[in-house]
Amino acid sequence: MNLSFFDQFSSPSLLGIPLILIATTFPALLLSSQNNRWITSRMSTLQLWLINLITKQLMIPLDKKGHKWAMILTSLMIFLLLTNLLGLLPYTFTPTTQLSMNLALALPLWLATLLTGLRNQPSISLGHLLPEGTPTPLIPALILIETTSLLIRPLALGVRLTANLTAGHLLIQLISTATVVLISTMPAISLLTFLILFLLTMLEVAVAMIQAYVFVLLLSLYLQENI
């Protein structure tokens, strides 16, 4: 039983072929393509409104130099949002519960922000490693601490997203299993656990949206430090 709880996090395969690629590309199929009609559908209008809202929120911490990153950050936000929400449906696989995938998203983008700062303003970027007014005996220790905190940023991004989604999925499966087991012996307790399951599902929907926003927001803050 304990092993079956974690089977939902294993990458599905068909005839030995991993299906994670289909799981990652499926959210893009839900977005309606643009057309040349003067009058668009309600779905296209809602989609454009949502994209504009996300873009405005992500561009608030950035100055004009960082606005060229708008397409990358908005696309990442929509991808994470749809992937996290689709993973809450029954009998689905959530790619963002895989640490390897989250690190594959976080590491290149974090490295791009770091290299942007080293190319455009190397002295300011390196100056973040040593706060102004640091006592001389503490300089080596502070440089080591700031360097370590800088290098673990992509790991923190990936682990945060993975841990929050994994914990939520495990709680949902545990409580749903308890609801099914107790329905024949203790119907009142089963009804109570079902109510808890419903509230937890609503909470996980909020967590899925918040974690996608936090992931991209932290990347935008790292970008702002380097531009």
With beta carbons less than 8 A apart as the criterion, state whether 80 and 207 touch.
no
> Between these two residues, 35 and 93, which has the higher pLDDT value?
93
* Mean of pLDDT values over 125-151: 80
pLDDT band at 1 (very low <50, low <70, confident <90, very high): very low
Domain map of the chain by residue range? Answer: 14-225
Contact between 151 and 140 under an 8 Å Cβ cutoff? The reply is: no
Inter-residue long-range contacts of 21-29, CB under 8 Å, 24+ positions, other chains counted: 23/83, 23/92, 23/93, 23/94, 23/95, 24/83, 24/95, 24/101, 26/86, 27/78, 27/79, 27/82, 27/83, 27/86, 28/79
**Among residues 26, 25, 43, which one has the least CA distance to residue 34?**
43
Question: Identity (one letter) of the amino acid at 194?
Answer: F
- Name the 3-class secondary structure at 158: helix
Residue 34's pLDDT is what?
A: 62
Residue of higher predicted confidence among 168 and 91: 168
CA distance 46 to 78: 13
- pTM equals 0.82
Residue 163 pLDDT exceeds 80: yes
Residue 110: per-residue pLDDT: 92
CA 1 – CA 40 distance, rounded (Å): 50
Distance CA 70, CA 66 (A): 8
* Percent of the chain whose predicted confidence (pLDDT) is above 70: 85
What three-state secondary structure class fits 125?
helix
Beta strand ranges found along the chain (DSSP E): 13-14, 17-18
Q: What pairs with residue 13 in β-bridges?
A: 18
Whether the per-residue pLDDT at 41 is higher than 90: the answer is no
Residue 210 reports pLDDT greater than 90:
yes
